[in-house]
Amino acid sequence: MKSVSTLKTFKNNGARVDYEICDISNENNVIKTCQTLNERNEKIDVLVNSA
């Protein structure tokens, strides 16, 4: 999976990165994803949406 390869590249260069898959057509899924991200991170500097 390309995203896993990219994630490893960033981590190997010292970045703290993660990804989460979210179906934005489902409001409950969006809420759950936001809660998960907030629990995992003190703050979020960059958030990328890619379709």
Give 19-50 pLDDT, tens digit per residue: 889 999 999 999 999 999 999 988 888 888 87
Joined tokens for residue 9: 């590249």
Could you list the residue range(s) of the whole structural domain that residue 13 is in? 2-40
In a domain, 50, yes or no: no
Q: Which residues contact 47 (CB under 8 A, 6 or more apart)?
A: none
Tell me whether residue 11 is in a domain.
yes
Alpha helix ranges (H) inside the chain: 2-12, 27-40
In a domain, 49, yes or no: no
Q: Is residue 47 part of a domain?
A: no
Q: How many angstroms separate the most distant Cα atoms in the chain?
A: 35
Q: Is residue 13 part of a domain?
A: yes
Residue 22 and residue 30 in contact, taking contact as beta carbons nearer than 8 Å: yes
Q: Can you give the pTM of this predicted structure?
A: 0.66
For the chain, give the number of residues.
Answer: 51
- Domain total in the chain: 1
Q: Report the candidate in 34, 13, 11 with the shortest Cα–Cα distance to residue 22.
A: 34
